[in-house]
Structure 1
Amino acid sequence: MSLSFELTQSIAIIGGGPGGYEAALAAAQLGAEVTLVERAGVGGAAVISDVVPSKSLIATADAAVAIAEATDLGVQFFARGGDGRPLRPQVAINLAAVNKRLLALAHQQSEDMRAALVAAGVRIIDGHGRLEGDHAVVVSTGPGGTDFDRIEADTLVVSVGASPRELPAARPDGERILTWTQLYDMRALPEHLIVVGSGVTGAEFAGAYMNLGAKVTLVSSRERVLPGEDPDAATVLEGVFTRGGMTVLSRSRAEKVERSGDGVTVTLADGRTVEGSHCLLAVGSIPNTRGIGLEEAGVQMTDSGHIRVNRVARTSVPNIYAAGDCTTFVPLASVASMQGRTAVFHALGDEVMPLDRLRITANIFTAPEIATVGWQEKDVTDGVADGIVHKLPLAVNARAKMMGVRDGFVKLIARRGSGTVIGGVIVAPRASELIYPIAIAVDRRLTVDQVSRVFAVYPSLTSSVADAARAMHNVGRVAEA
């Protein structure tokens, strides 16, 4: 759908992360006059210090595991000693080189995104932006905020992201007590990394450093890791963690983290202490919304500082939109991107489809990965969704056997009676890729029979999706029995 305006519409965007970046591209594509304000670099924290570097680190850890486990597939590594006898070499991790590479990748991605915006005609201002009323953004651009630029616009989009949450008794120092944005200055693998927090971020980093060869202790205040995720998936991952040598301390709340010489001491709520060389704090994030003029502009916010938005990313002020982790919506980079596009489409009168949480696909980049979409088994158990669940272990899949994959499963959730696919979980290598056909089925409201009739390559991990769907052929008849 193409649009033409009698008067050029102007859009000012604060924050160049996934939400702001996509909003700027979409607005430029629709012919608007676009200005993007970004203080850290195009791509924001997601590209520069969060998603891109962390997933690059995890990819390196996956490579290390692949090498270490190659022996199980009959691939053996050796070198000959001076006496001619074979020696078994060790896999060594040069963390300084790893971190240099992943930060370079993040920087390159940021530059590529900046180039794309410039090519689209977006004006980029490097600086710190704040709202001035509901139609203007003031940007401090000089050293110490001495120079200012004022941009007036018809529509404002706020996409300022979030920052790692800190605990009062656990202040990061950037050396031994770290947030996930400070890990990349380490020159060598930590001798013993204590990870406080067993949510997505904590689990991803704990697994990555374990696979890189560090001793890891994961401190979880809940009964299991990933307390908000599918219990079967969390159980598989915790089994992998413990088998790999990680110490998982369940129902253990961290009260205090202190430097102790060349290491750290974590004090738990029950008085126990854990000593290590480094501590990673992964206890959530806080939105970067303070002091940018939102309240003065009349934008409604939660007590936590998140911006209240509706399904088209609109705030309580009609011409102000918001996207990403600073909002009350799902904190995912892919969601931020979709919010940014949706906000601009709505503001400029283009065709728009309101965001639906049940169509959002999420992935946890552990090894194995955990991907989810739609309704979950707990929703069925709690009576929120009327569905039937089928779980197929990945170990029965022929390709999984060839690859030496031992852990994982495909779980499909279909509506009782109709057999419409309403959700799914995949625990597997590259689950982030394998979940896509289930996401399509959920979005397009396909039935398990329709999914099962699509040809899947044999052998392939994807065929487990077809096998699970095929096993649910009688879902309607089961409902009637």
Structure 2
Amino acid sequence: MSGFDYDLFVIGAGSGGVRAGRIAARYGAKVAVAEEYRVGGTCVIRGCVPKKLFVYASKFAEEFEDAVGFGWTTDKVTFDWATLVENKDKEIDRLNKAYLRNLEGAGAELLLERAVVEDANTVRLTSGRKITARYILVATGATPFLPRHLPGHELAITSNEAFDLKRLPARIVIVGGGYIAVEFAGIFSGLGVETILVYRGEQILRGFDDDIRNHLAAEMSKKGIEIRTQSDVSLIERSGDGVRVTLNNGAVYGAGQIMFATGRIPNVLGLGLDHVGVEMTPHMAIKVDAYSQTAVPSIYAVGDVTNRVNLTPVAIREGHAFADTVFGGKDVKVDHSLIPTAVFSQPEVGTIGLTETQARQGFAKVDIYKSSFRPMKHTLSGRDERTLMKLVVDGESDRVLGCHICGPDAGEMAQLLGIAVRLGAKKSDFDATMAVHPTASEELVTMREKWTG
């Protein structure tokens, strides 16, 4: 495409930006990708990957305890935080290099500088260099929210810093009730840290099925996590090597750390978008259409910076669809409905489709199937933990509207259930499927008792 330095200039080398750049380059486009920190974005550097590794680490304490019931002895078991952090860093370095190789292999050029938008077809790098491109794609993700109005907020950490603490605190206060908050509560608790979860809502995991929310909260409490709902932090003060946290109800906690996990905000500040006519949503996300195009025809945006569905696979799909549409000559829209998702809490949550509340709002008759049981493993381990599975069914068409699981490997099950629900499977299809025995997932095809409404 003559007249421009590049066909595509991508700002941000996270999951969505890298995928878009790679696919566009494979279509023959001349592509540059600018990144001011490290390639891989939130997921690889400070999100999904290190978090899942830490979840694995935190589960071993219970695994060692459970092993005793199966005849194992577990004397002299110890944990070293520094070793976990070091090995996590090595894995991130490996993935960072893999992302670099993939970009280079596709023929895209990587520029390790911050880039801001000058006009509809121009970006400016930190070095002062100006670059023109027929299309600009913004894929700068999101950043943890920290309440700047809160006295003492500068003493708090977010998930960004939690992965690199010099040492584990004896006690931590985690503020929030979403994915990140409940996942880190399980991580710290599993690693032996006394954990208090503070959430201003009535129950954790707002937006998830109520039965799953209540079940998870009960199971987390069994593990020793103190959950304080309908509460918020009003003051943070320095106290020795730690902090003193005061809640709005007057309760006071001393802790080694306080961590805020109250959501993430689109990373748009200082990008120059407001000067070129790119429109923003009320929550300061980049406003885009079904093809990820902004109000400026040459500027697109994908991933968390658009605040549509803030999940890594969604950003990847959006980036791929953008490249297919703009450079591949295809007409590709991303369907943001029926997205399976997992919360790597302890126990794990996996879900796809409508909650019971959502279904009852949109369907005349809804059938509910539920099963709560003790996993087979715990018959010998003696652990007091139960799994909950739930199917939400359209009572008139028999179509499965939603599946919700809280228990071991729930995320793995949700991925496969996502295929069935997307294909419009009926409850009778579940019933006709032979069970795999003995497994927890067989409960999904053997549930018969229903609640109708």
Question: TM-score with structure 2 length normalisation?
Answer: 0.92
Rounded to whole Å, the distance in 2 between the matches of 1:400 and 1:439 is 28
Q: Hey, what does 1:234 align to over in structure 2?
A: 213
What amino acid does structure 2 have at the position aligned with 1:276?
Answer: A
Aligned 8 A contact 1:423 1:438 in 2: no
Moved more, 5-14 or 426-435: 5-14
Tell me how far 1:304 sits from its aligned partner.
Answer: 2.6
Q: Name the counterpart of 1:97.
A: 83
Contact 1:221–1:251 under 8 Å retained in 2: yes
Task: Give 1:14's match in structure 2, choosing from 1, 11, 15.
Answer: 11
Structure 1 residues 180-189 or 401-410, which shifts more? 401-410
**2:93 matched residue in structure 1:** 107
Aligned position for 2:128: 148
| Post-superposition offset of 1:370 | 0.7
Q: Distance in 1 between matches of 2:289 and 2:391?
A: 29
Q: For residue 389 of structure 2, what is the aligned residue in structure 1?
A: 410
Deviation, structure 1 residue 437: 2.3
Q: Residue by residue, what CA displacement relative to the aligned partner does 1:70-98 show, whole Å, maximum 9, x if unpaired?
A: 224443324xxxxxxxxxx4x42211111
Determine the C-alpha separation between the residues in 2 that align with 1:333 and 1:177.
26
2:314 — aligned with what? 335
Distance 2:414 2:163 in 1: 30
- 1:409-465 CA distance string (max 9 Å, x none): 221222232222222111121211111222001222222233444444322233222
- Which residue type is aligned with residue 150 of structure 2? A
Q: Is 1:33–2:33 an aligned residue pair?
A: no
Q: 1:378 to 1:400 in 2, by over 3 A?
A: farther
Confirm or deny: 8 A CA contact 2:69 2:380 kept in the other structure.
Answer: no
**How far is 1:309 from its partner?**
1.9
Contact 1:441 1:451 in 2 (8 A): no
The 8 Å contact of residues 177 and 259 in structure 1, kept in 2 or not, is answered as: no
Give 2:165's match in structure 1, choosing from 186, 202, 208: 186
Judged with a 3 Å threshold, the aligned counterparts in structure 2 of structure 1 residues 166 and 383 are, in CA distance, closer, same or farther, namely same
- Relative to structure 1, the CA distance from residue 412 to residue 353 in structure 2 (aligned partners, 3 Å threshold; closer, same or farther) is farther
In structure 2, what residue type is equivalent to 1:71?
V
- What letter matches 1:21 in structure 2? V
2:323 is aligned with what amino acid? V
Letter in 2 for 1:388: D
Change beyond 3 A, Cα 1:312–1:164: same
1:169 aligns with 2:171: no
Deviation at 1:383, TM superposition (A): 3.8
**1:358 counterpart SS class:** coil
Q: What is the CA-CA distance between 1:152 and the residue it aligns to?
A: 2.0
Which of 44, 60, 63 is the matching residue for 2:57? 60
2-structure distance, mates of 1:399, 1:212: 22
How far apart, CA to CA, are the structure 2 residues paired with 1:95 and 1:432? 26
Residue in 2 that maps onto 1:356 = 335
1:232-271 alignment runs, 5 A limit: 232-271=211-250
Gaps spanning 5+ residues in structure 1: where? Answer: 79-88, 141-146
Deviates more, 1:342-351 or 1:358-367: 342-351
Could you tell me how far apart the structure 2 residues matched to 1:402 and 1:463 are?
Answer: 20
Structure 1 169/11 Cα, relative in aligned 2: closer, same or farther at 3 Å?
same
- Write the distance in 2 (CA, Å) between the matches of 1:449 and 1:204: 35
Could you say which residue in structure 1 is the equivalent of 2:345?
366
8 Å contact kept, 1:375–1:385: no
1:42 to 36, 39, 50: 39
Provide the aligned length of Structure 1 versus Structure 2.
Answer: 450
Q: 1:328 to 1:384 in 2, by over 3 A?
A: farther
Q: Aligned letter for 1:116?
A: N
Shift of 1:172: 5.5
1:133 positional shift: 1.5
Match of 1:52, as an amino acid?
Answer: V
Q: 1:244 to 1:437 in 2, by over 3 A?
A: same
Match of 1:148, SS state, is coil
Specify which of 367, 371, 374 is matched with residue 388 of structure 1.
367
Query: Post-superposition shift, 1:171?
Result: 5.1
Q: Does 1:425 align with 2:404?
A: yes
Shift of 1:43: 0.6
Specify every segment of 5 or more residues in structure 2 that has no aligned partner in the other structure, as ranges: none
- Give how far 1:243 is off: 1.2
Distance 1:449 1:404 in 2: 35
Q: How many angstroms apart in 1 are the aligned matches of 2:353 and 2:331? A: 21
Asked if the contact 1:358–1:375 (Cα under 8 Å) also holds between the matched residues in 2, the reply is no
Q: Is the 8 A contact 1:456 1:463 kept in 2?
A: yes
The equivalent residue for 1:81 is: none
1:275 and 1:299 map into 2 onto residues whose CA distance is 45
In the other structure, the counterpart of 2:324 is 345
What is the one-letter code of the residue matched to 1:413? V
CA contact (8 A) 1:39 1:126 kept: yes
* 1:345–1:351 CA contact under 8 A, matched in 2: yes
* Structure 1 position 400, deviation (Å): 7.4
TM-score in terms of structure 1 length: 0.87
In 2, Cα distance between the equivalents of 1:440 and 1:399?
28
* 2-structure distance, mates of 1:112, 1:363: 25
Matches of 2:391 and 2:348, distance apart in 1: 16
Equivalent runs, 1:433-452 vs 2, <5 Å: 433-452=412-431
* Identity across matched positions, percent: 28
**Structure 1 vs Structure 2 CA RMSD:** 2.6
Task: Note closer, same or farther for the CA distance 1:451–1:345 as it changes in structure 2 (3 Å cut).
Answer: farther
Q: Give 1:385 shift.
A: 7.6
Q: 2:300 aligns with which of 310, 316, 321?
A: 321
Read off the aligned partner of 2:129 and give its amino acid letter.
D
Matched, 1:305 2:284: yes
Cα shift at 1:7:
11
Cα distance between partner residues in 2 of 1:230 and 1:75: 38
Change (3 A) 1:53 1:131: same
For residue 16 of structure 2, what is the amino acid of its counterpart? G
